[in-house]
Amino acid sequence: MAGIALLPDALISQIAAGEVIERPASVVKELLENAIDAQARSISVSLEEGGIRRIRITDDGHGIDANDLALAVMRHATSKIRSLQDLQAVRTHGFRGEALAAIASVAHMEVTSKAASAPHGKSIANHGGAWQERPAAASTGTTVDIQSLFHSVPARRRFLKTAATEFSHAREAFVRQAMIHPEVAWQLSHNDKMVMRLPPTQPALRVAECLGLDAQALKIVEEERGPLHIRAWLQLPTLADGKAEHQYLYVNGRHVRDRLMLHALRSAYADVLHGQRQARLVLQIDLDPELVDVNVHPAKSEVRFRDSQAVYQSILSAVRTALAQPVAATAGASIATPLGSTGDGAMSHRLAYGHSLPLSPQFFQGQPNRSWASGTMPLDPQGHQALGAESPLTPAPLGPPLGFAIAQLHGIFILAQNSHGLIIVDMHAAHERIVYERLKAQTTTETQGLLEPLALLASPLETETAQLHAELLRTIGFDVAPLSADHIVVRAIPALLAKAPIEPLVRETLAELAQHGQAQSVMEQRDAILATMACHGAVRANRSLTIPEMNQLLRDIEATDRSDQCNHGRPTWVQIGHKELDRLFMRGQ
């Protein structure tokens, strides 16, 4: 048997490259992170054949000192950490000092850089195998030119896809960085053709452009929750298109893949999305670097939180709260084009009408309609406006967002007029959401005691979770407690889930509590039952409503959380603006 021997440096570098450099997109990611760490304000990326033939990235950052250039391309050489304490509190994107050396081990590479204080630049290249340095004319910043990726590792090169496929991955790596750095000017070209040019702009505008959305179709979240600073740009649920790949997560400015964060986001959206659709979104959280480990994956694409449950709960609560406020609660809002949004895409604040119009204790009591501007509008016995009365159908600019009812169409839709045009409401879908939200708000979780307590063989984690979360379990209707070191006893379950199989229900609940600190599946099952109850309790199609009843429904929509979508995620109302109406009838043409 051969003895133990140290590996050659070249082979060590290629092993490192195998961990970090999978394809051209990996090279783009590493070099863009270096440019951002260098405080660049302009970054240009040029690719040939998807990056397989050539990758050239130029930035105007602070550059590399001429005396440090030779060190920069060596393994584990970095200016970003000096001690274990630095590693635990790392705030930069790159920090291991392995990217340039790893890339150079599998490609021809030339690095040209000039520090701001240097009279001229310097270049170092490995085209002949050994590194060679020379003076170079350069502006402040750094250019990295990489050619013939994996030329020295043919087996790896054979695993690359077509140039078009590799370019799509490289473009995605570019977008991930450009998305979260709107203060930077970005350029991307492929085979000498400009693909993307992104000037510095506001965060919401950059996110919208990268997601392919109108900035006004985004809800913006910015909250401090304990040690977390949460920022999110969320696509309106009604516009969701089912593409989960357009969901971007960032921790301390670093793009990551994290199942816990995704689970929190999808749980927050669960009650407002239709079918299997997914919303486009960007979520950024910032926290003390000592509370998160970014060094758990060679490509730094995964993280580990010290208190994962707190992170999960904070994201879930912040996003759920943002999505709860309906677009209908903002002046002149529209599902297609939210006219009530501000310039940076943030939704307008809720207007005072939400508190000035009392909701009736029962739905559709036929009470006299209220004029928005002043007093009570005269009505005939059928609830229609009396002749000669001042018309409320041209509301003041600050009138209610969903305006005032005009008529009912086919016993299904309510037609209303607001200052922006025509509103069409699906009355059953809207009322269904209203009833559903009231059931959720008013229902206290009742328990169903078992005739005989059920003892279950339990893992140590299940036993510990039952003891640790005993109070939370009681609030959602469970009476579960440790019986011994390896058994738990179930004495009661939520009454609404009395017909559910008990053992799977309890085990799934404990598993979710152990992972997330919240039994989301139980809440989803409870809500599914309440949604069914709401569907049967909502006003049915073909029921004739009076004008006051229709207006009461409009006001209830404006005051109800998540009322832009029914319980199944379909829209409850749409706005047709003046311009759309004019276009239909060719007015002004």
Phi (first) and psi of residue 388, to 5 degrees = 85, -10
Specify whether 579 is located in the same domain as 459: yes
Does 386 fall in a domain? no
Looking up residue 210, the CATH number of its domain turns out to be 3.30.230.10
Average of per-residue pLDDT across 547-565: 94
Cα–Cα distance for residue pair 94/97, rounded to 1 Å: 7
End-of-domain residue from the set 182, 198, 214:
198
Which range among 36-50, 173-187, 371-385, 456-470 shows the weakest confidence by mean pLDDT? 371-385
Average of per-residue pLDDT across 505-534: 76
Distance of CA 324 to the CA centre of its chain: 15
Q: Which residues contact 315 (CB under 8 A, 6 or more apart)?
A: 228, 230, 261, 264, 265, 268, 283, 285
Pairwise pLDDT comparison (8 vs 194), residue with the higher score: 194
Specify whether 234 is located in the same domain as 123: no
End-of-domain residue from the set 144, 176, 198:
198
Residue 342 domain boundaries: 326-369+393-589
Residue recorded with tokens 């050396």? 101
End-of-domain residue from the set 183, 198, 213:
198
Structure tokens given for 183: 């203060």
Does 375 fall in a domain? no
Distance of CA 337 to the CA centre of its chain: 20
| Ramachandran area for residue 141 (φ above 0: left; ψ -120 to 50: alpha; else beta) | left
Does 2 fall in a domain? no
Does 378 fall in a domain? no
Specify whether 43 is located in the same domain as 163: yes
Structure tokens given for 209: 């452009």
Domain count, the chain: 3
Average of per-residue pLDDT across 546-565: 94
Specify whether 283 is located in the same domain as 339: no
Residue 13: per-residue pLDDT: 63
Specify whether 345 is located in the same domain as 482: yes
Specify whether 141 is located in the same domain as 220: no
Specify whether 21 is located in the same domain as 131: yes
Specify whether 252 is located in the same domain as 193: no
pTM (predicted TM-score): 0.73
Does 185 fall in a domain? yes
Cα–Cα distance for residue pair 219/85, rounded to 1 Å: 38
Helices (H) and strands (E) in the chain, counts: 18, 22
- Provide the percentage of residues in the chain whose pLDDT is more than 70: 78
Does 382 fall in a domain? no
Specify whether 211 is located in the same domain as 303: yes
Specify whether 225 is located in the same domain as 194: no
Is residue 377 helix, strand or coil? coil
Would the pLDDT of 145 be above 90? yes
Does 379 fall in a domain? no
Residue 67: per-residue pLDDT: 87
Specify whether 226 is located in the same domain as 245: yes
pLDDT (tens digit per residue) in 224-273: 988 899 999 999 888 888 677 899 999 999 999 898 999 999 889 988 88
Specify whether 180 is located in the same domain as 64: yes
Does 527 fall in a domain? yes
- Rg (C-alpha) for the chain, rounded Å, is 30
Average of per-residue pLDDT across 569-589: 91
Looking up residue 54, the CATH number of its domain turns out to be 3.30.565.10
pLDDT (tens digit per residue) in 471-507: 888 877 889 999 998 999 999 988 877 877 899 889 9
Would you say how long the chain is, in residues?
Answer: 589
Helix H or strand E segment including 177: helix 163-180
